[in-house]
Amino acid sequence: MVLPVYISVEYLGVGLYTAWIFVTLYVCLLAIIFRWRYHQGKWKKTRVIEVHSPPIPPPQAAVPGVENL
């Protein structure tokens, strides 16, 4: 985002308000795209935690024969 705004302000001669308009339009476009992707519902089928995970073993003593306090 920085490079296109810098080029448009320095070399193309657009004003700072025009740069802010472009940035605002870009953020709005991203919001529309993310909303569309959210409403597709593919995220509901994503598996983050497996159902059949192995059990976690109990912690071992740091020194054999000595219990942890």
State the burial class of residue 22 (Cβ atoms within 10 Å of its Cβ: 0-12, 13-18, 19+).
Answer: middle
* Domain-located, residue 62: no
- For 1, residues 6+ apart whose C-beta sits below 8 A from its C-beta are 23, 26
* Domain-located, residue 26: yes
- For 61, residues 6+ apart whose C-beta sits below 8 A from its C-beta are 67, 68
Spans of the chain below 50 pLDDT: none
pTM of this structure: 0.55
pLDDT at 4: 79
pLDDT at 65: 65
* Domain-located, residue 9: yes
Please state the domain count of the chain: 1
pLDDT (tens digit, 9 = 90+) per residue, 41-58? 888 888 777 677 677 777
* Domain-located, residue 29: yes
Residue 14 domain boundaries: 2-41
